[in-house]
Amino acid sequence: MGNIARHIAIIMDGNGRWAQERGLKRVKGHEKGAETVRFITTFASNHPEIEVLTLYAFSTENWKRPKMEIDFLMRLLSRYLKNETKTYKKYQIRFETIGDLSRFSPSLQKQIAAIKDETKNFNRLTQVLALNYGSQDEISRAAEALCKERKKISVETLGKRLESSRFGPVDILIRTGGDQRLSNFLLWQSAYAELFFSPILWPDFSPEDLETIISEFKRRTRRFGGI
Ligand code: FPP
């Protein structure tokens, strides 16, 4: 039976390089990357074990990119959500987010809230988009809230306060695109995650690649600090 792949989290890296390799503008890579998001999400919704798929769509550091690329990513996200509402319904996918949405435009915030509401009772899969998300920001905001309330800070109290704790610990953390770093993604929830670094650029990442990773995950021994 082996390990259960309940929660999979992915750092979707390599869109820019995928486009540059083809002599295309970087944003074309993000467009293709959005299609991969759809393929991987529908695959996950049909997988018997996967309950949560968390995708790093926009980090707290991504605001450093050129304004034109940021604007494109915002429009792409809005278009994706509009087009994919039918996919969420067809595959019974609940849509959720982590991250501070207050920096997004009021219309995007409204759209996000509406889709969360429309899909809240679906339970085949929860797709969590990390939007303006950073783990250090998440952890410090939770600690600040506890301090303000003069509450004790412990692994338990702090852990419970984290926005991402609603979705539970990560079993498999994947980064595509060849780099081997965590880039401030789900640091707390990945304390005992199995890490996978794939050289494949995100637009080329396929459900078969995910299946191969899950098979390898099943063969690994997870000790959670025990022996
Ligand atoms: C990293 O590639 C990717 C991002 C910063 C954004 C992720 C966005 C998508 C996958 C598409 C939109 C998502 C949704 C949910 C509609 P990079 O630009 O850092 O690539 P590079 O390392 O090759 O430059």
Nearest to residue 104, comparing CAs of 139, 62, 142?
62
Res 169: pLDDT: 97
How far apart CA 37 and CA 56 sit, in angstroms, is 11
pLDDT at 168 over 90: yes
pLDDT digit string, tens, across residues 128-149: 999 999 999 999 999 999 999 9
- Does 13 qualify as catalytic in the annotation? yes
Domains annotated for the chain, with CATH where assigned, are 7-219 (3.40.1180.10)
Res 122: pLDDT: 98
Res 135: pLDDT: 97
Which ranges of 162-206 would DSSP assign to H, the alpha helix? none
Provide the token pair at 39. Answer: 């393929």
pLDDT at 2 over 90: no
Res 142: pLDDT: 96
CA dihedral sign, ordered 107, 122, 163, 72: negative
Res 1: pLDDT: 59
- Does 123 qualify as catalytic in the annotation? no
**Per the residue annotation, which of 3, 15, 46, 62 is the catalytic one?**
62
How far apart CA 18 and CA 31 sit, in angstroms, is 11
Res 221: pLDDT: 85
| Cα–Cα distance list, 174 to 27, 51, 162 (Å) | 22, 16, 21
Q: Calculate how far, in angstroms, residue 16's C-alpha sits from the geometric centre of ligand 1.
A: 7
Q: Calculate how far, in angstroms, residue 28's C-alpha sits from the geometric centre of ligand 1.
A: 10
Region 172-185: mean pLDDT is 98
- Return mean pLDDT, the chain: 96
Provide the token pair at 173. Answer: 């953390």
Over pLDDT 70: what percentage of the chain? 100
Region 162-190: mean pLDDT is 97
Residue nearest to atom 3 of ligand 1 (CA): 13
What DSSP line would sit under 39-89, residue for residue? Answer: HHHHHHHTSSS--EEEEEEEETTGGGS-HHHHHHHHHHHHHHHHHHHHHHH
Nearest to residue 147, comparing CAs of 160, 137, 138, 157?
157
Among 12, 75, 204, the mutation site with the greatest number of ligand 1 atoms within 8 A of its Cβ is 12
Which residues, judged by CB distance below 6 Å to any ligand atom, belong to the binding site of ligand 1?
12-17, 30, 33-34, 37, 57, 62, 76-77, 80, 129, 177, 202
pLDDT digit string, tens, across residues 48-96: 999 999 999 999 999 999 999 999 999 999 999 999 999 999 999 999 9
Q: Which residues contact 152 (CB under 8 A, 6 or more apart)?
A: 146
pLDDT band at 222 (very low <50, low <70, confident <90, very high): confident
pLDDT digit string, tens, across residues 20-59: 999 999 999 999 999 999 999 999 999 999 999 999 999 9
Q: What region, left, alpha or beta, does residue 169 occupy, with left being phi > 0 and alpha being psi -120 to 50 degrees?
A: beta
Residue with tokens 């940021």: 70
Q: Calculate how far, in angstroms, residue 226's C-alpha sits from the geometric centre of ligand 1.
A: 37
Q: Please say whether the beta carbons of 117 and 83 come within 8 A.
A: no
